[in-house]
């Protein structure tokens, strides 16, 4: 176990470099170990609207769920766990975790495998050739949503550099303040993998053909994907195109809050 944990600690320290922390400078990262030895990083993602922070732990778990891999057996931070992180792990449905060290939680029923490599979170598909193709991918991804509270699955596909496709789903938690929407899930994954400047996002709300991003997601899209074209599923009708600026005119930039680091 010790060798496995030391490897995960090293990955957490490395992942922290990708944290998006223009306001605090707190480069935090979490790494999940899956049952087959793959690991999933997640970094802290800050917003100009401070309360919309995506914690590293929530980012990592949502990436794993969107990739169809909820089989988490250990969690390692690049610093000691905070009380809110402990509360998150005690209530997550992805396992029963106990604290092993200040920076480590392990799943009680599992023997830790050796670390074998970083999970690839991207979809194995070509970049969509049309809005319909992108929406079809988002509909498939929505089946991975974890929505025991709302029963309202949402899925999206973010197109990033090199045509890679980042899936995102809404991931719910008993603590509603730790719920993450599909759009922010995908943005958090992209930033963790060092991918900026998304080109497009395809979004579906399977139970609501009039669905659009919530206010929180609009703010993060305006900050992190300002040039992206957003395509929204409209059921039997053609997909509707929008931009972050159209969805949230006059979005708060937070430039006066950025700290030199």
pLDDT tens digit at each of 261 positions of the chain: 789 999 999 999 999 999 999 999 999 999 999 999 999 999 999 999 999 999 999 999 999 999 999 999 999 999 999 999 999 998 888 888 999 999 999 998 778 999 999 999 999 999 999 999 999 999 999 999 999 999 999 999 999 988 999 999 999 999 999 999 999 999 999 999 999 889 999 999 999 999 999 999 999 999 999 999 999 999 999 999 999 999 999 999 888 898 776
Residue 24 confidence (pLDDT): 96
* N- to C-terminal Cα separation, the chain: 36
**Beta bridge mates, 202:** 157, 231
Tokens 């690049």 correspond to 78
Residue 95 confidence (pLDDT): 81
Select which of 149, 183, 227, 245 is catalytic: 183
Residue 256 confidence (pLDDT): 86
Residue 246 confidence (pLDDT): 97
Residue 94 confidence (pLDDT): 81
The pair of three-digit structure tokens given for residue 208, joined into one six-digit string: 């609501």
CB 156 within 8 A of CB 202: yes
CA distances from 130 to 117, 127, 142 (A): 33, 9, 19
Q: Is 84 a catalytic residue?
A: no
Residue 261 confidence (pLDDT): 63
**Separation of alpha carbons 128 and 136, rounded Å:** 9
- Alpha helices, H only, 92-214: 131-142, 182-192
Burial of 102 (0-12, 13-18, 19+ CB in 10 A): exposed
| Beta strands 97-101; 154-159: pairing state | unpaired
Backbone dihedral angles phi then psi of residue 171, each to the nearest 5 degrees: -125, 110
**Separation of alpha carbons 121 and 144, rounded Å:** 13
Residue 93 confidence (pLDDT): 81
| Beta strands 229-234; 117-118: pairing state | unpaired
């Amino acid at each position: 176990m010790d060798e496995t944990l030391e490897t995960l600690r090293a990955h957490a320290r490395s992942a922290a470099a990708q944290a998006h922390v223009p306001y605090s400078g707190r480069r935090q990262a979490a790494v999940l170990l899956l049952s087959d030895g793959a690991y999933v990083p997640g970094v802290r993602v800050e917003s100009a609207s401070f309360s919309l922070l995506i914690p590293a732990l929530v980012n990592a778990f949502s990436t794993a769920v969107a990739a169809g891999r909820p089989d988490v057996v250990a969690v390692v931070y690049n610093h000691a766990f905070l009380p809110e992180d402990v509360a998150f792990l005690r209530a997550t449905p992805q396992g029963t975790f106990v604290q092993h060290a200040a920076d480590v939680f392990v799943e009680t029923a599992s023997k830790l495998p050796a670390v074998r490599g970083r999970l690839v979170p991207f979809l194995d598909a070509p970049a969509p050739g049309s809005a319909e193709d992108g929406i079809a991918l988002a509909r498939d991804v929505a089946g991975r949503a974890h929505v025991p509270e709302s029963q309202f699955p949402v899925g999206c596909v973010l197109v990033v550099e090199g045509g890679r496709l980042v899936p995102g789903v809404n991931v719910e938690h008993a603590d509603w303040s730790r719920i993450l929407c599909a759009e922010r899930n995908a943005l958090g994954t992209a930033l963790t993998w060092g991918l900026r400047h998304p080109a497009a996002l395809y979004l579906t709300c399977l139970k609501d053909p009039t669905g659009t991003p919530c206010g929180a997601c609009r703010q993060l899209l305006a900050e992190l994907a300002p040039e992206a074209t957003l395509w929204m599923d409209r059921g039997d009708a053609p997909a509707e195109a929008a931009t972050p600026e159209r969805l949230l005119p006059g979005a708060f930039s937070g430039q006066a809050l950025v700290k030199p680091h």
